[in-house]
Amino acid sequence: MDFEQIKRVYFVGIGGIGMSALARYFVQRGKAVAGYDRTSSGITVDLENMGVAVHYTDDVNLIPADFRSLNGTLIIYTPAIPAEHTELNFFKNNGFAIIKRAQALGFIASAMSVLGVAGTHGKTSTTTMLSHLLGSSSVGCDAFLGGISKNFGSNLVTADKGKNLLVVEADEYDRSFLSLFPHLAIITSVDADHLDIYGTHEHVLEAFGLFAGQIKPNGFLVMKQGLNFTPKLASGVKVITYGFTSNADVYPSNIRIVDGFYNFTLNTPSGSIDNLHLGVPGKYNLENALAASAAALAVGISSDELRSGLQSFSGVVRRFDVQFKNATSIYIDDYAHHPQEINAMVESVRDVFPNRKVVGVFQPHLYSRTRDFADEFAQSLDKLDTAILLDIYPARELPIEGVTSNSILERMKNPNKVLLSKNNILEWVAKNDIDILVTMGAGDIDHLVPQIVEVLKSK
Protein backbone atom coordinates (compact mmCIF):
# COMPACT_ATOMS: atom_id res chain seq x y z
CA MET A 1 0.00 0.00 0.00
CA ASP A 2 1.59 3.30 -1.07
CA PHE A 3 1.08 6.52 0.88
CA GLU A 4 -1.67 7.88 -1.35
CA GLN A 5 -3.73 4.71 -0.94
CA ILE A 6 -3.75 5.06 2.85
CA LYS A 7 -6.99 6.64 4.04
CA ARG A 8 -7.00 5.46 7.65
CA VAL A 9 -4.33 4.34 10.13
CA TYR A 10 -5.19 2.29 13.21
CA PHE A 11 -2.61 1.94 15.98
CA VAL A 12 -2.55 -1.04 18.36
CA GLY A 13 -0.69 0.49 21.29
CA ILE A 14 -1.15 4.13 20.29
CA GLY A 15 -0.03 5.59 23.63
CA GLY A 16 3.61 4.53 23.35
CA ILE A 17 6.08 7.33 22.77
CA GLY A 18 7.14 6.07 19.33
CA MET A 19 3.65 5.07 18.25
CA SER A 20 2.12 8.39 19.26
CA ALA A 21 4.70 10.30 17.21
CA LEU A 22 3.66 8.28 14.16
CA ALA A 23 0.00 8.95 14.96
CA ARG A 24 0.69 12.70 15.07
CA TYR A 25 2.54 12.41 11.76
CA PHE A 26 -0.38 10.75 9.97
CA VAL A 27 -2.86 13.24 11.47
CA GLN A 28 -0.74 16.10 10.12
CA ARG A 29 -0.85 14.50 6.70
CA GLY A 30 -4.61 14.35 6.63
CA LYS A 31 -5.18 10.67 7.38
CA ALA A 32 -7.92 9.46 9.70
CA VAL A 33 -6.30 8.03 12.84
CA ALA A 34 -7.65 5.88 15.67
CA GLY A 35 -6.23 3.37 18.10
CA TYR A 36 -6.18 1.29 21.24
CA ASP A 37 -4.04 1.54 24.35
CA ARG A 38 -4.21 -0.16 27.72
CA THR A 39 -4.43 3.02 29.79
CA SER A 40 -5.17 6.68 29.34
CA SER A 41 -2.22 9.09 29.65
CA GLY A 42 -1.28 12.65 28.88
CA ILE A 43 -0.16 11.48 25.45
CA THR A 44 -3.46 9.77 24.60
CA VAL A 45 -5.44 12.77 25.87
CA ASP A 46 -3.39 15.01 23.55
CA LEU A 47 -4.17 12.67 20.66
CA GLU A 48 -7.87 12.72 21.50
CA ASN A 49 -7.74 16.52 21.50
CA MET A 50 -6.33 16.28 17.96
CA GLY A 51 -9.40 14.30 16.90
CA VAL A 52 -7.97 10.81 17.26
CA ALA A 53 -10.46 8.19 18.48
CA VAL A 54 -8.74 6.26 21.30
CA HIS A 55 -10.22 3.52 23.47
CA TYR A 56 -8.78 1.54 26.37
CA THR A 57 -10.44 -1.88 26.27
CA ASP A 58 -9.28 -4.67 23.94
CA ASP A 59 -12.59 -5.07 22.11
CA VAL A 60 -13.09 -5.35 18.35
CA ASN A 61 -16.50 -3.73 18.70
CA LEU A 62 -14.84 -0.51 19.91
CA ILE A 63 -12.84 -0.14 16.70
CA PRO A 64 -14.56 2.61 14.67
CA ALA A 65 -16.58 1.10 11.82
CA ASP A 66 -14.55 2.81 9.08
CA PHE A 67 -11.35 1.24 10.42
CA ARG A 68 -12.85 -2.24 10.08
CA SER A 69 -12.90 -1.75 6.32
CA LEU A 70 -10.00 -3.34 4.45
CA ASN A 71 -9.95 -0.70 1.73
CA GLY A 72 -7.43 2.03 2.57
CA THR A 73 -6.82 0.97 6.20
CA LEU A 74 -3.27 0.47 7.49
CA ILE A 75 -2.66 -1.21 10.85
CA ILE A 76 0.47 -0.31 12.83
CA TYR A 77 1.32 -2.20 16.01
CA THR A 78 4.04 -2.18 18.61
CA PRO A 79 5.88 -5.43 19.42
CA ALA A 80 5.09 -4.75 23.09
CA ILE A 81 1.50 -5.84 22.36
CA PRO A 82 0.93 -9.46 23.54
CA ALA A 83 0.40 -12.15 20.89
CA GLU A 84 -3.08 -12.99 22.19
CA HIS A 85 -4.37 -9.42 21.75
CA THR A 86 -7.93 -9.65 20.39
CA GLU A 87 -7.87 -6.60 18.14
CA LEU A 88 -4.48 -7.39 16.64
CA ASN A 89 -5.61 -10.93 15.85
CA PHE A 90 -8.82 -9.60 14.28
CA PHE A 91 -6.73 -7.58 11.83
CA LYS A 92 -4.34 -10.48 11.19
CA ASN A 93 -7.17 -12.93 10.54
CA ASN A 94 -9.04 -10.65 8.16
CA GLY A 95 -6.36 -9.74 5.67
CA PHE A 96 -5.55 -6.17 6.74
CA ALA A 97 -2.29 -4.46 5.79
CA ILE A 98 -0.32 -4.76 9.05
CA ILE A 99 3.17 -3.45 9.83
CA LYS A 100 5.26 -2.94 12.95
CA ARG A 101 6.08 0.53 14.22
CA ALA A 102 9.67 0.18 13.00
CA GLN A 103 8.52 -0.70 9.48
CA ALA A 104 6.26 2.37 9.40
CA LEU A 105 9.14 4.56 10.49
CA GLY A 106 11.42 2.99 7.90
CA PHE A 107 8.78 3.59 5.23
CA ILE A 108 8.60 7.30 6.10
CA ALA A 109 12.38 7.60 6.47
CA SER A 110 13.14 6.00 3.10
CA ALA A 111 12.28 9.22 1.29
CA MET A 112 14.53 11.41 3.48
CA SER A 113 18.13 11.81 4.57
CA VAL A 114 18.14 10.16 7.98
CA LEU A 115 20.15 11.04 11.06
CA GLY A 116 19.66 8.05 13.36
CA VAL A 117 20.53 8.18 17.06
CA ALA A 118 21.11 4.77 18.66
CA GLY A 119 22.37 3.51 21.99
CA THR A 120 21.27 1.48 24.96
CA HIS A 121 21.00 4.76 26.88
CA GLY A 122 21.33 8.45 26.07
CA LYS A 123 19.53 8.27 22.74
CA THR A 124 16.36 10.17 23.64
CA SER A 125 18.15 13.19 25.09
CA THR A 126 20.67 13.17 22.24
CA THR A 127 17.97 12.84 19.57
CA THR A 128 15.98 15.68 21.09
CA MET A 129 19.04 17.89 21.44
CA LEU A 130 20.11 17.25 17.85
CA SER A 131 16.58 18.01 16.64
CA HIS A 132 16.58 21.28 18.56
CA LEU A 133 20.01 22.30 17.26
CA LEU A 134 18.96 21.69 13.65
CA GLY A 135 15.37 22.88 14.06
CA SER A 136 16.47 26.21 15.53
CA SER A 137 19.12 26.72 12.83
CA SER A 138 19.06 27.53 9.12
CA VAL A 139 19.42 23.79 8.38
CA GLY A 140 16.09 22.57 9.78
CA CYS A 141 14.80 19.04 10.20
CA ASP A 142 11.83 16.81 10.88
CA ALA A 143 12.15 14.43 13.82
CA PHE A 144 10.61 11.43 15.53
CA LEU A 145 11.59 11.57 19.20
CA GLY A 146 11.50 9.00 21.98
CA GLY A 147 10.40 11.60 24.54
CA ILE A 148 8.51 14.85 24.78
CA SER A 149 10.75 17.79 23.88
CA LYS A 150 10.20 20.75 26.19
CA ASN A 151 11.15 23.13 23.37
CA PHE A 152 8.71 21.67 20.85
CA GLY A 153 6.10 20.38 23.34
CA SER A 154 5.85 17.20 21.30
CA ASN A 155 7.58 13.99 20.24
CA LEU A 156 7.16 14.98 16.58
CA VAL A 157 9.03 17.83 14.94
CA THR A 158 8.17 19.15 11.48
CA ALA A 159 9.97 21.98 9.73
CA ASP A 160 9.33 23.03 6.13
CA LYS A 161 12.87 24.09 5.41
CA GLY A 162 16.36 22.74 4.98
CA LYS A 163 17.84 19.65 3.42
CA ASN A 164 15.09 17.04 3.78
CA LEU A 165 16.70 15.84 7.00
CA LEU A 166 14.90 13.47 9.36
CA VAL A 167 16.25 12.92 12.88
CA VAL A 168 15.10 9.59 14.28
CA GLU A 169 15.57 7.83 17.58
CA ALA A 170 16.89 4.48 16.39
CA ASP A 171 15.55 1.96 18.92
CA GLU A 172 17.43 -1.30 19.41
CA TYR A 173 14.44 -3.02 21.04
CA ASP A 174 13.22 -5.85 18.80
CA ARG A 175 16.00 -4.81 16.36
CA SER A 176 13.74 -1.97 15.23
CA PHE A 177 16.65 0.23 14.14
CA LEU A 178 17.51 -2.19 11.34
CA SER A 179 14.65 -0.65 9.36
CA LEU A 180 16.74 2.51 8.98
CA PHE A 181 19.49 3.31 6.46
CA PRO A 182 20.92 6.56 7.79
CA HIS A 183 23.18 9.15 6.23
CA LEU A 184 24.53 9.82 9.70
CA ALA A 185 24.30 7.65 12.80
CA ILE A 186 25.15 8.39 16.40
CA ILE A 187 25.93 5.48 18.73
CA THR A 188 26.00 6.57 22.38
CA SER A 189 26.42 3.20 24.09
CA VAL A 190 26.31 -0.53 23.42
CA ASP A 191 25.77 -1.98 26.89
CA ALA A 192 23.90 -5.21 27.51
CA ASP A 193 20.14 -4.59 27.59
CA HIS A 194 16.93 -6.14 26.27
CA LEU A 195 18.37 -9.57 26.91
CA ASP A 196 14.81 -10.90 26.72
CA ILE A 197 15.16 -10.17 22.99
CA TYR A 198 18.87 -10.66 22.36
CA GLY A 199 19.85 -13.33 24.85
CA THR A 200 23.48 -12.22 25.15
CA HIS A 201 25.53 -9.03 25.03
CA GLU A 202 27.30 -10.41 21.96
CA HIS A 203 24.01 -10.41 20.08
CA VAL A 204 23.38 -6.81 21.17
CA LEU A 205 26.76 -5.84 19.72
CA GLU A 206 26.00 -7.76 16.56
CA ALA A 207 22.77 -5.82 16.03
CA PHE A 208 24.51 -2.47 16.56
CA GLY A 209 27.14 -3.59 14.06
CA LEU A 210 24.45 -4.32 11.50
CA PHE A 211 22.89 -0.91 12.14
CA ALA A 212 26.23 0.87 11.67
CA GLY A 213 26.80 -1.17 8.51
CA GLN A 214 23.61 0.33 7.07
CA ILE A 215 25.03 3.87 7.12
CA LYS A 216 25.06 4.98 3.51
CA PRO A 217 28.38 5.28 1.65
CA ASN A 218 30.23 8.54 2.39
CA GLY A 219 28.05 9.11 5.44
CA PHE A 220 29.04 9.66 9.08
CA LEU A 221 29.27 7.56 12.24
CA VAL A 222 29.42 9.66 15.41
CA MET A 223 30.46 7.29 18.17
CA LYS A 224 31.33 7.61 21.84
CA GLN A 225 35.03 7.20 22.45
CA GLY A 226 36.06 3.94 24.06
CA LEU A 227 33.19 1.72 22.99
CA ASN A 228 34.37 -1.87 22.59
CA PHE A 229 32.85 -1.89 19.16
CA THR A 230 34.37 -1.97 15.67
CA PRO A 231 31.59 -2.25 13.07
CA LYS A 232 32.18 -2.94 9.41
CA LEU A 233 31.24 0.25 7.58
CA ALA A 234 30.30 1.09 4.00
CA SER A 235 32.78 2.80 1.69
CA GLY A 236 33.73 6.34 2.65
CA VAL A 237 31.90 6.48 5.99
CA LYS A 238 33.70 8.99 8.23
CA VAL A 239 33.98 8.07 11.91
CA ILE A 240 33.85 10.94 14.43
CA THR A 241 34.52 10.03 18.06
CA TYR A 242 33.42 12.11 21.03
CA GLY A 243 34.35 11.97 24.70
CA PHE A 244 35.92 13.81 27.61
CA THR A 245 39.59 13.33 26.68
CA SER A 246 41.66 14.98 23.98
CA ASN A 247 42.06 11.59 22.26
CA ALA A 248 38.52 11.99 20.94
CA ASP A 249 37.81 13.92 17.75
CA VAL A 250 35.26 16.08 19.59
CA TYR A 251 35.82 16.88 23.26
CA PRO A 252 35.21 19.68 25.78
CA SER A 253 37.71 21.80 27.65
CA ASN A 254 37.56 24.75 30.04
CA ILE A 255 34.55 23.08 31.70
CA ARG A 256 32.90 25.13 34.43
CA ILE A 257 29.65 24.63 36.33
CA VAL A 258 27.85 27.94 36.81
CA ASP A 259 24.61 27.82 38.83
CA GLY A 260 24.33 24.12 38.05
CA PHE A 261 24.82 24.48 34.28
CA TYR A 262 27.87 23.72 32.14
CA ASN A 263 29.98 26.29 30.32
CA PHE A 264 32.69 24.85 28.05
CA THR A 265 34.77 25.05 24.90
CA LEU A 266 34.09 22.47 22.18
CA ASN A 267 37.17 21.18 20.40
CA THR A 268 36.68 19.67 16.93
CA PRO A 269 38.96 18.65 14.04
CA SER A 270 37.99 21.97 12.38
CA GLY A 271 38.85 24.12 15.39
CA SER A 272 37.47 25.20 18.75
CA ILE A 273 34.15 26.85 19.57
CA ASP A 274 34.35 28.93 22.75
CA ASN A 275 31.81 30.15 25.27
CA LEU A 276 29.23 27.41 24.96
CA HIS A 277 26.51 27.21 27.62
CA LEU A 278 24.31 24.13 27.95
CA GLY A 279 20.71 24.90 28.90
CA VAL A 280 20.15 21.68 30.89
CA PRO A 281 22.10 20.34 33.90
CA GLY A 282 23.81 16.98 34.33
CA LYS A 283 27.13 15.56 33.19
CA TYR A 284 25.38 12.97 31.03
CA ASN A 285 23.66 15.84 29.21
CA LEU A 286 27.07 17.39 28.55
CA GLU A 287 28.13 14.07 27.04
CA ASN A 288 24.96 13.99 24.93
CA ALA A 289 25.70 17.55 23.82
CA LEU A 290 29.08 16.44 22.47
CA ALA A 291 27.38 13.82 20.29
CA ALA A 292 24.59 16.12 19.11
CA SER A 293 27.04 18.95 18.39
CA ALA A 294 29.35 16.71 16.38
CA ALA A 295 26.41 15.53 14.27
CA ALA A 296 24.94 19.01 13.81
CA LEU A 297 28.29 20.42 12.70
CA ALA A 298 28.71 17.51 10.26
CA VAL A 299 25.48 18.42 8.46
CA GLY A 300 26.13 22.14 8.25
CA ILE A 301 25.12 24.04 11.39
CA SER A 302 27.29 27.11 12.08
CA SER A 303 29.25 27.80 15.26
CA ASP A 304 26.93 30.66 16.21
CA GLU A 305 23.85 28.50 15.61
CA LEU A 306 25.37 25.78 17.77
CA ARG A 307 26.05 28.25 20.58
CA SER A 308 22.51 29.60 20.46
CA GLY A 309 20.91 26.16 20.18
CA LEU A 310 22.76 24.63 23.14
CA GLN A 311 21.87 27.55 25.38
CA SER A 312 18.18 27.55 24.43
CA PHE A 313 17.74 23.78 24.78
CA SER A 314 15.17 23.12 27.52
CA GLY A 315 15.48 19.36 27.74
CA VAL A 316 13.16 16.38 27.63
CA VAL A 317 10.25 15.53 29.88
CA ARG A 318 11.41 12.95 32.48
CA ARG A 319 15.12 13.48 31.79
CA PHE A 320 16.70 15.24 34.80
CA ASP A 321 13.31 16.91 35.03
CA VAL A 322 13.28 19.28 38.01
CA GLN A 323 9.70 19.19 39.28
CA PHE A 324 10.02 21.16 42.51
CA LYS A 325 12.58 23.41 44.16
CA ASN A 326 12.46 25.60 47.25
CA ALA A 327 14.94 26.79 49.85
CA THR A 328 15.29 23.35 51.43
CA SER A 329 14.21 20.66 48.94
CA ILE A 330 14.66 19.68 45.31
CA TYR A 331 12.66 17.02 43.48
CA ILE A 332 13.81 15.55 40.15
CA ASP A 333 12.04 12.95 38.00
CA ASP A 334 13.96 10.82 35.51
CA TYR A 335 13.34 7.93 33.11
CA ALA A 336 16.46 6.01 34.22
CA HIS A 337 15.69 2.29 34.12
CA HIS A 338 19.06 0.63 33.39
CA PRO A 339 21.93 0.42 35.92
CA GLN A 340 24.17 2.64 33.78
CA GLU A 341 21.42 5.25 33.54
CA ILE A 342 20.98 5.25 37.31
CA ASN A 343 24.76 5.66 37.68
CA ALA A 344 24.72 8.62 35.29
CA MET A 345 21.73 10.18 37.03
CA VAL A 346 23.21 9.94 40.54
CA GLU A 347 26.58 11.24 39.32
CA SER A 348 24.89 14.18 37.62
CA VAL A 349 22.83 15.04 40.70
CA ARG A 350 25.97 15.03 42.83
CA ASP A 351 27.80 17.17 40.25
CA VAL A 352 25.07 19.79 40.16
CA PHE A 353 24.17 19.64 43.86
CA PRO A 354 27.34 18.63 45.75
CA ASN A 355 27.27 17.64 49.41
CA ARG A 356 23.51 17.09 49.47
CA LYS A 357 21.61 14.04 50.75
CA VAL A 358 20.00 12.19 47.84
CA VAL A 359 16.95 9.96 48.25
CA GLY A 360 16.17 7.80 45.22
CA VAL A 361 12.87 6.05 44.52
CA PHE A 362 13.27 3.39 41.85
CA GLN A 363 10.60 1.34 40.11
CA PRO A 364 12.23 -1.62 38.31
CA HIS A 365 10.97 -2.12 34.75
CA LEU A 366 10.45 -5.71 33.52
CA TYR A 367 11.00 -8.97 35.38
CA SER A 368 13.61 -10.05 32.84
CA ARG A 369 15.69 -6.88 33.22
CA THR A 370 15.49 -7.16 37.01
CA ARG A 371 16.67 -10.77 36.81
CA ASP A 372 19.48 -10.04 34.33
CA PHE A 373 20.87 -6.97 36.13
CA ALA A 374 20.00 -7.46 39.82
CA ASP A 375 23.65 -7.16 40.89
CA GLU A 376 24.23 -4.06 38.76
CA PHE A 377 21.02 -2.40 40.01
CA ALA A 378 22.10 -3.04 43.59
CA GLN A 379 25.49 -1.43 42.98
CA SER A 380 23.90 1.61 41.32
CA LEU A 381 21.33 2.15 44.06
CA ASP A 382 24.04 1.79 46.72
CA LYS A 383 25.36 5.17 45.51
CA LEU A 384 22.27 6.89 46.95
CA ASP A 385 22.11 8.10 50.53
CA THR A 386 18.69 6.47 50.84
CA ALA A 387 17.22 4.00 48.34
CA ILE A 388 13.52 3.18 48.08
CA LEU A 389 12.45 0.31 45.83
CA LEU A 390 8.94 -0.11 44.43
CA ASP A 391 7.46 -3.30 43.04
CA ILE A 392 8.44 -4.30 39.49
CA TYR A 393 6.46 -2.73 36.66
CA PRO A 394 5.75 -5.73 34.39
CA ALA A 395 4.98 -3.85 31.13
CA ARG A 396 4.72 -6.57 28.47
CA GLU A 397 5.84 -9.47 30.69
CA LEU A 398 4.30 -12.11 32.90
CA PRO A 399 5.94 -12.67 36.32
CA ILE A 400 9.09 -14.77 36.51
CA GLU A 401 9.19 -17.09 39.52
CA GLY A 402 11.53 -15.85 42.22
CA VAL A 403 12.10 -12.43 40.60
CA THR A 404 10.86 -9.47 42.66
CA SER A 405 12.24 -6.13 43.80
CA ASN A 406 13.67 -8.05 46.73
CA SER A 407 16.07 -9.61 44.19
CA ILE A 408 17.74 -6.18 44.12
CA LEU A 409 17.18 -5.20 47.75
CA GLU A 410 18.88 -8.30 49.18
CA ARG A 411 22.01 -7.62 47.11
CA MET A 412 22.37 -4.00 48.26
CA LYS A 413 24.94 -2.91 50.83
CA ASN A 414 23.29 0.46 51.45
CA PRO A 415 21.97 0.37 55.05
CA ASN A 416 19.32 2.97 54.17
CA LYS A 417 17.15 0.85 51.92
CA VAL A 418 13.47 0.02 51.99
CA LEU A 419 10.84 -1.64 49.82
CA LEU A 420 7.56 0.24 49.63
CA SER A 421 4.37 0.02 47.63
CA LYS A 422 3.39 2.96 45.43
CA ASN A 423 0.53 3.64 47.84
CA ASN A 424 3.00 4.32 50.67
CA ILE A 425 5.37 6.70 48.88
CA LEU A 426 3.40 9.87 49.56
CA GLU A 427 3.20 9.06 53.27
CA TRP A 428 6.96 8.39 53.37
CA VAL A 429 7.74 11.72 51.66
CA ALA A 430 5.40 13.57 54.03
CA LYS A 431 7.01 12.07 57.15
CA ASN A 432 10.70 12.40 56.20
CA ASP A 433 12.99 15.36 55.70
CA ILE A 434 13.78 15.74 52.01
CA ASP A 435 16.99 17.33 50.76
CA ILE A 436 17.05 15.97 47.20
CA LEU A 437 14.49 13.44 45.99
CA VAL A 438 14.83 11.59 42.67
CA THR A 439 12.18 9.28 41.19
CA MET A 440 13.43 6.90 38.51
CA GLY A 441 11.90 4.29 36.24
CA ALA A 442 10.27 3.59 32.89
CA GLY A 443 6.96 2.24 34.18
CA ASP A 444 4.11 4.24 35.68
CA ILE A 445 6.08 5.91 38.47
CA ASP A 446 5.58 9.21 36.64
CA HIS A 447 1.89 9.07 37.66
CA LEU A 448 3.07 9.85 41.19
CA VAL A 449 4.94 13.01 40.19
CA PRO A 450 2.16 15.61 40.61
CA GLN A 451 1.12 14.06 43.92
CA ILE A 452 4.69 14.12 45.24
CA VAL A 453 4.97 17.77 44.21
CA GLU A 454 1.82 18.61 46.16
CA VAL A 455 3.15 16.84 49.27
CA LEU A 456 6.42 18.77 49.06
CA LYS A 457 4.59 22.06 48.58
CA SER A 458 2.54 21.42 51.69
CA LYS A 459 5.51 20.66 53.96
pLDDT tens digit sequence for 215-263: 999 999 999 999 988 999 999 999 999 999 999 999 999 999 998 899 9
Distance (Å, rounded) from C-alpha 170 to C-alpha 451? Answer: 33
Compute CA 209 distance to the chain's CA centroid, rounded to the nearest angstrom.
21
pTM, full prediction? 0.90
Residues of the chain above pLDDT 70, percent:
99
Q: Is the pLDDT of residue 161 over 60?
A: no
Dihedral sign of CA atoms 364, 367, 372, 374 in order: positive
- Kindly report the backbone phi and psi dihedral angles of residue 229, in degrees, each rounded to the nearest multiple of 5, phi listed first: -160, 115
Task: Please list the alpha-helical segments (H only) found in 301-421.
Answer: 303-312, 339-352, 367-372, 374-381, 406-409
Q: How many CB atoms neighbour CB 447 within 10 A? A: 12
pLDDT at 239: 98
pLDDT at 393: 95
Distance (Å, rounded) from C-alpha 429 to C-alpha 440? Answer: 15
pLDDT tens digit sequence for 35-91: 999 989 889 999 999 999 999 999 999 999 999 999 999 999 998 898 899 999 999
Task: Please list the alpha-helical segments (H only) found in 94-238.
Answer: 101-109, 123-135, 195-198, 201-213
Query: Containing H/E element for 45?
Result: helix 42-49
pLDDT at 194: 76
CA within 13 Å, CB half, 358: 25
Which amino acid is residue 303, in one-letter code? S
Residues of the chain above pLDDT 90, percent:
90
Query: Containing H/E element for 451?
Result: helix 449-458
Q: Is the pLDDT of residue 1 over 70?
A: no
pLDDT at 53: 97
Compute CA 308 distance to the chain's CA centroid, rounded to the nearest angstrom.
24
pLDDT tens digit sequence for 386-426: 999 999 999 878 999 999 999 999 999 999 999 999 999 99
Instruction: Give the closest residue to 250 by CA, choosing from 307, 209, 289.
Output: 289
pLDDT at 212: 98
Q: Which domains does the chain have, with CATH numbers?
A: 7-102 (3.40.50.720), 112-312 (3.40.1190.10), 321-458 (3.90.190.20)
Question: Torsion angle of alpha carbons 290, 252, 331, 378, nearest 10°?
Answer: 80
* Helix, strand, coil shares, percent, the chain, to 5: 35, 25, 40
- With vertex at residue 26, the alpha carbon angle to CA 76 and CA 120, rounded to the nearest 5 degrees, is 60
- C-beta separation of 353 from 261 below 8 A: no
pLDDT at 229: 87
Provide the strand spans (E) within 131-170.
142-149, 154-157, 165-169
The residue length of the chain stands at 459
